[in-house]
Amino acid sequence: MTLPDSAVVPDAAGPLVDAMAQLHKAAATLELPDGLHELLGSPRREMAVSIPLRRDDGSIAVYSGYRVQHNFTRGPAKGGLRYAPSVDLDEVRALAMWMTWKCALVDVPYGGAKGGVAIDPRTHSTAELERVTRRYTSEILPIIGPEVDIPAPDIGTDERTMAWIMDTYSVARGYTVTGIVTGKPLSLGGSQGRAMATSRGVAHIALLAMASRGIDPAHATAAVQGFGKVGYGAARFLAEAGVKVRAVSDVDGAVYAHDGLDIAHLAAHVERTGTVAGFDGAEAIDPASVLTLDVDVVVPAAVEGVLTEENAPKVQARIVVEGANGPTTGAADAILKERDVLVVPDILANAGGVVVSYFEWVQANQAYQWSEREVNDRLEERMARAWHDVVAHSGAHGMTYREAATVLAVERVVDAHRLRGLYP
């Protein structure tokens, strides 16, 4: 099967290449006709916007922003908003496609979307980021809504960003619309357990993966790349389960302790200094080495494309749990498969965030708040169900977990599409 000429054609390298290759393989396995394959590979809607910003010193800067809605077949589009200098349209397209598969895999009634602004939030004041967020929201306002497309936090954004989006949207509508975003502050209709949901899901899946390989958490070791929203929580929950987290890294450095880092003290250090670098409870190491340390589990929890053809042969871990979206390139995937390294794919491993985002959206629609215990119990049940679905499909069809997860997700979207039909 070949990709139809009219489908989105990515650049020669990057996350969209990997996303399209994964879809191509799933489509071939499912023997999808070319037209349906093309439909699944093409975003339903894309918007690129120019975002002018009056900076605090009075100068004017202009940034590029994007919102891509990949699929609506199973429900409204859902996906995060990323602020990073590297953001471009192909990256957002890939992330939106992965969101479609992620939502289908964990059986939440959403399609996939993603947004991004090519800006470095670390070099802007809070007031500047608020102005950027509100202008971006006003530009994409015609294509978002609680029944259309629901943004959420991602790299470089947080619950405060979501509050600005909610307020901007609500002002435009003339009444408060809490369901327009998820990942909001609790006082504005957010959900208990949402802040740590992705991390908690990563830890649940990592522990299930360890059990599948006969690894006792009490005698296990791990390394986590990234110490932000996902990485910190993943490290914390793994440590609470008895795993020795030997190393973590962020954009400024990496630290290592053979007998395990004190995650609580490290988090306090990061709160004071903004980085893991300089933590006196560990030794400094090369950040690139975190992925190849002698540990049982590696959790890449930062950005895409960090496990590559160059470093995959050096990975010593028996298990890779993808806390980030698209951290493993296609070439690295093939190498890790050959070396019998178990790779738990992003659309399974880090789906906890969208699961609890769904719970938050449901609570907003009901004007009712669940307890944190209810949220966490339902999250664990949903993640365990998806894990067992993937393991069963993998075993029955001789697939890697990524192949099995993608085939299952694509098949669910295809089934919904076939039931709905094509209009007109």
**Concatenated DSSP letters of 274-324:** SSSTT-TTSEEE-GGGGGGSS-SEEEE-S-SS-B-TTTGGG---SEEE--S
- Neighbouring CB atoms inside 10 A of 172's CB total 12
The tokens for 376 are 């966490």
Contacts of 260 (CB under 8 A, 6+ apart): 221, 239, 243, 244, 245, 246
User: Is-contact 74 416, C-beta < 8 A?
Assistant: yes
* Phi (first) and psi of residue 346, to 5 degrees: -55, -40
As annotated, the active-site residues are: 114
Helix locations, 34-177, DSSP H: 34-41, 89-105, 126-140, 159-173
Is the peptide bond between 424 and the residue preceding it cis, with omega within 30 degrees of 0? yes
Instruction: With CA atoms as reference, report the closest residue to 298 among 254, 340, 208, 235.
Output: 235
Kind and range of the H or E run holding 117: strand 111-117
**320 class by beta-carbon count within 10 Å (0-12 exposed, 13-18 middle, 19+ buried):** buried
In angstroms, the CA 303 to CA 251 distance is 10
Instruction: With CA atoms as reference, report the closest residue to 246 among 269, 220, 265.
Output: 220
